[in-house]
Structure 1
Amino acid sequence: MRHASDTGIAMSATAHAHLPHRSVAGAPALSRVDGVSWLVVAGAIFNLVLCFINTRHVITVRSSEIVLCELVIIFLAFIEVRNTISPAVVRITGVMICFEIGAKLINPRLDMKILHDLAIAYVFYQLGTRSTLRSGERTMWVMMAMIMFVGFFELLFTNLFGTIFDVWTYYVNKGVISSSTVNYSNTNLFISGNRGAAASRTFFQSIFGSHRVSSLFLEPDSLGNFSAIGFAWCLSTNLGSRLRHAFLFFLSALCFVLADSRFASGCALGMILLRMTPLYRSRFVVFAMPVTVMMGLMLQGANHEMPGILPSIIGDNFSGRLLFSGRLLDYWNLSQWFAMAPSQVYTADTGYAYIINNLGLPLTLFLLALFTLHPARTEAAVSMKAMISLYFSTSLCIGASVFTIKTAALLWFLYGTTNSVVAPSEPEAREKAPERLKSFRFNRLMPTAEHIA
């Protein structure tokens, strides 16, 4: 499904989010949000709150109110981390803004909100670096508790949930669903909240029926993304008792079962397999995964060319979405690849096309390289970086829902907490971190002592 009002961007966002930060003399080592980050939670639940307000007819919530709430959350996060922004980030951001403005003059349909999407990744990553690993764990548990409570309420009392949260009308008001769209499910859930007819449920059809749980995210795709993030966190960290850790694994799996997310289940399996090999330590693998998957999509599209026919989603299933992504990338000319001309077909249902047609291939690869080369301070950060690369590599094949602030804020905050530890015996590490950005040696794409520690 199109991610519509939700914002986000994929690998380029991930890349920008991980530029080194600058320590400020006298600044506190930890943020005031050490503990459960209320800004991360706010990013996840504000749509649920606005949906309730819209349902109770307090005000009619449209896209402008939703965008305003999101911008306020990002601004507050920026205020929290403003003293950690390095000069390198400022310079690169300036160059990116100039490029986007110049490209917009040539390609009027270029979507400037991609800069806003990059900002989400950067500020919430920085917010995480000013917190602690245990703060990330607590945030994950609080989010999980809220999701389970709202999710089971939706599952067990669907009609009552619909009277409190009229999700269908909420998405019609903000322009995601057309007012003329037929609601075949006869519920107030989102359009993808029900698998009916031939599109049968993948997990436990006899128990859950055709209902796909959305919980506090209002759409099942985001709950599936949360499930994948939960697996990435569990595979990268090991806090608390084994029983507690195993229970978090179980709850993460339960999320993709409730949402009936085929993507999340496949992504979780891929993460487990990757974590069982030493490949997750390799920077080359981290860089190559999204590039290789994109090239594979293009090859698939080239093998199924339909001359003279615009690419479209012929079958609304996993294979059909993959084929559409590949055909669109294969259909482009160089001007689309360099963001100098609009795509002939909308890009919201294929994340790779969304990024490249708004950033251009050179800038996308540059930001991906920054993400790859950014130093990982802990073993947890090394693993989390590889999991994020796999997460984006797979999700971008079928859509851009990974970019929504509802799950993106949590993802980058958690990654930031894994990268927040600086040993007391390394007092100069903070001051020298920005300088490491200047070193772009190709051999840094291979495993280093930093990734093996």
Structure 2
Amino acid sequence: MARHDSLFFPPAANGWAHPGYTPRPTAQQAARQEHGWRLFGLWILFGAALYQMALCLVHTHVFAVRTAMVGAAEFVLYLGCLLVLARRLQLDVVAILSLCAAYLLLLALLRGSLDAKGFRDLLIVLLFYWLGRSVGDVRTADRFLRILIGVVLLFGFFEMFFVEYYSRVFNVFSYYVSQGGLRGTNWIKDNTLALNSMRPEGIGRTILPGLLGAHRVSSIFLEPVSLGNFAVITAAWGLSKEKTEWRWMLFFVGAAMLMITLADSRYGLMTISCLILMRLAFRGRMHYLLMFLPLVCVLMLIGIALFLPDYHGDNMLGRLRITGVVLSEFGIGELMGLKGYNLGFGDMGYAVLLTRFGLPFFVALWIGFWMIRMKDEQGIRFRAYAALYMSLILAISGTSLMALKTAGVLWFLIGCCALREKPAVARGFADTPAPQSANRKASHVS
């Protein structure tokens, strides 16, 4: 009498399996599943870059989009990241998320109010970093960036040369007014673009004003500031590559310079110049010097305020001086994140960050950022370039660093550069262990 016992007869051999048995996927099936999850992760990333443009399109032609709908769209993207991470949930991810949530809840108890924006900003950093670390690598990041650059330039040239039609398709001004981000009156008559798409009279365009006029292109990001930020991230990725990949380096840097020209991004022009100098001068461990750049920036801001107390120009130097004045007046309450968290600091990024999270938490996150183990020299360079980008943007901008449409891309790329163990591919029945004799021989040789 034949025995149907899985201990003696494997399910593949006799066609029978007990109710709790789950067949292992073959190596080919596991590879297809891995590819499917990678594509899903990239669609999430494209969604993070394009969701504002899609919502603006809906707002212009279908119905008014309010802040709640924008928040719901972001929640769907975060949920997608969690679905990707949940398939191989790692203890360190859960621990870091739990510690950050516990800290923010403690701050909420001490303040007497909950800062939802702080939770949202940390989710962007952690989820998109782990998304890149889970499903990304350098090749995937290259392909993603090339496609996204193509989309950005396509819409950018459409806006530059056919601005009237672009304005009909995307009523950016009305979209931001609907969310309460702008006043209902427009200082530029009949303009449907973002307010900063035109520089005020007396300032004008910085890059090629005679050729391109006063209009600053926003492309898919709806704001020229975000296009400039994306251009810096693109240039940082290109400059981090090895010398043997100089063609791709030129491609990414050239695309970045083109986007900066379209957006007339003074910050982007200055930052890319610094990145090029770093690529020429920095080697090996010198990149770790960027760890101290936020402290240097804060001291420089305070120094500008001290040495130029009577300067009130409506330009970048004037903005830096005001930021330095505010930072020099911070007390223990502001530095610990207990006071000033509910104030609008405008373009003062360091003031926003310190009052929202507190200095101890910011220092802990910054140290953790530098403790990430990178795969190779490209990863080490890109982390240093990202540190330069973040440190400088906090000096002149309040919230653009944590805008999902660019922050998601940045942290995904950092995750792609991080060192990680290769996922174990489930073995099929054709994969058999090495013979015992071979194992003995290998151990003898070693």
TM-score (ref. length: structure 2): 0.81
Cα distance per residue 1:89-143 (max 9 Å; x no partner): 4334333322322222332466332122111121111221222211100110111
Counterpart of 1:396, as a letter, is L
Matches within 5 A, 1:48-67: 48-56=53-61, 58-67=62-71
CA contact (8 A) 1:131 1:420 kept: no
Quick one: which amino acid aligns to residue 282 of structure 2? P
Is this contact kept in 2: 1:110–1:358, CA < 8 A?
no
Aligned to 2:327: 329
Distance 1:359 1:343 in 2: 8
Task: Kindly provide the CA deviation profile for residues 289-348 of structure 1, in whole angstroms up to 9, marking residues without a partner as x.
Answer: 112212221233344568xxxxxx954421122112111111211101101112585224
Q: Please, which runs of 5 or more residues in structure 2 have no aligned partner?
A: 1-26, 424-446
Question: Who is 1:161 aligned against?
Answer: 166
Alignment of 1:37-76 (within 5 A): 37-56=42-61, 58-76=62-80
Say which of 248, 251, 261 aligns to 2:252. Answer: 248
The whole-number CA distance in structure 1 between the counterparts of 2:128 and 2:157 is 29
Q: Which has the larger radius of gyration?
A: 2
1:115 alignment partner AA: F
| CA 73–236 in structure 1, closer or farther in 2 if over 3 Å, else same | same
Q: Which residue of 2 aligns with 1:211?
A: 215
Q: 2:177 aligns with which of 172, 184, 204?
A: 172
Q: Secondary structure at the match of 2:197?
A: coil
Contact 1:185 1:194 (8 Å CA) reproduced: no
Q: Which amino acid aligns with 1:237?
A: K
Alpha-carbon distance in structure 1 between the residues aligned to 2:200 and 2:340:
35
2: CA distance between counterparts of 1:415 and 1:201? 33
Match of 2:344 in 1: 346
| Residue type of the alignment partner of 1:144 | I
2:405: which partner in 1?
A: 406
244, 253, 262: which is aligned to 1:258? Answer: 262
Shift of 1:284: 4.1
After superposition, give the CA deviation of every residue in 1:239-262 in whole Å (9 maximum; x if it has no partner).
Answer: 996445423321111001100000
C-alpha separation in 2, matches of 1:314 and 1:71: 41
**Letter matched to residue 406 of structure 1:** K
1:114 is matched with 118
Q: Residues of 1 paired with 2:139 and 2:189: CA distance?
A: 42
1:132–1:421 contact (8 Å) kept in structure 2 = no
Distance (whole Å) between structure 2 residues aligned to residue 336 and residue 109 of structure 1: 15
**Aligned partner (choices 294, 300, 305) of residue 296 of structure 1:** 300
Residue 277 of structure 1: CA displacement?
2.4
Kindly indicate whether structure 1 or structure 2 has the higher relative contact order, using CA contacts under 8 Å at least 6 residues apart: 1
Aligned equivalent of 1:191: 195
The answer as to whether partners of 2:301 and 2:323 remain within 8 angstroms in 1 is: yes
Letter in 1 for 2:327: L
Structure 2 residue identity aligned to 1:204? L
The secondary structure found in structure 2 opposite 1:397 is helix
State yes or no: 1:143 paired with 2:132: no
Q: Take 1:152 and 1:292, find their aligned partners in 2: how far apart are those partners?
A: 38
Question: Which of 216-225 and 337-346 deviates more?
Answer: 337-346
| Aligned mates of 1:405, 1:32 — CA distance in 2 | 24
Deviates more, 1:187-196 or 1:335-344: 335-344
Letter aligned with residue 117 of structure 1: D
Query: Do the aligned partners of residues 337 and 110 (structure 1) sit closer, same or farther apart at CA in structure 2, a change above 3 Å counting?
Result: farther
Partners in 2 of 1:321 and 1:247 — Cα distance?
A: 33
Matching residue's letter, 1:120: I
Q: Provide closer, same or farther for how the CA distance between residues 305 and 333 of structure 1 changes in structure 2, counting only shifts above 3 A.
A: farther
Count of residues in Structure 1 that have an aligned counterpart in Structure 2 = 391
1:126 maps onto 2:126 in alignment: no
Residue identity in the other structure for 1:175: G
How far apart are the structure 2 equivalents of 1:156 and 1:284?
43
Structure 1 residues 324 and 293: CA distance shift in structure 2, 3 A: same
Q: 2-side partners of 1:69 and 1:359: how far apart?
A: 25
Distance of 2:201 and 2:227 partners within structure 1: 23
Residue identity opposite 1:222 in structure 2? S
Q: Structure 1 residue 212: deviation in Å?
A: 0.2
Asked if the contact 2:290/2:384 (under 8 Å) is kept, the reply is yes
Instruction: Provide the C-alpha distance between the structure 2 equivalents of 1:201 and 1:140, rounded to a whole number of angstroms.
Output: 28
Structure 1 gap segments, 5+ residues each: 1-25, 307-312, 425-453
Pairwise CA distance, 1:78: 1.7
Aligned CA distance change for structure 1 residues 232 and 88 (closer, same or farther; 3 Å): same
1:383 is aligned, of 381, 394, 416, to 381
- Residue by residue over 1:369-394, the C-alpha shift from the partner in whole angstroms, topping out at 9 and shown as x without a partner, is 01112211211110111011000010
1:388-399 counterparts in 2 under 5 A?
388-399=386-397
CA distance in structure 1 between the aligned counterparts of 2:291 and 2:235, rounded to whole angstroms: 21
Q: Quick one: distance in 2 between partners of 1:391 and 1:379?
A: 18
Q: Is this contact kept in 2: 1:220–1:261, CA < 8 A?
A: yes
Among the aligned pairs, what percent are the same residue? Answer: 28
**Normalising by structure 1, what TM-score?**
0.80
Decide whether the 8 Å contact of 2:302 with 2:321 is kept in 1.
no
Pick from 272, 277, 296: which aligns with 2:276?
272
Q: Which amino acid aligns with 1:271?
A: L
Cα distance in structure 2, aligned partners of 1:85 and 1:363: 25
The 8 Å contact of residues 339 and 358 in structure 1, kept in 2 or not, is answered as yes
Residue 187 of structure 2 aligns to which amino acid in structure 1? Answer: N
Residues 332, 107 of structure 1: alpha-carbon distance in 2 compared, 3 angstrom cutoff: same
Which region of structure 1 is more displaced relative to structure 2, 239-248 or 205-214?
Answer: 239-248
The reply to whether residue 222 of structure 1 matches residue 265 of structure 2 is no
Is 348-357 or 222-231 further displaced after alignment? 348-357
Pair 1:51–1:120, CA change in 2 (3 A): same
Contact conserved, 1:48 with 1:217, CA < 8 A, in 2?
yes
Greater shift after overlay, 273-282 or 62-71?
Answer: 273-282
Deviation at 1:402, TM superposition (A): 1.8
Quote the residue 1:370 is aligned against: 368
1:355 maps to which of 353, 356, 365: 353
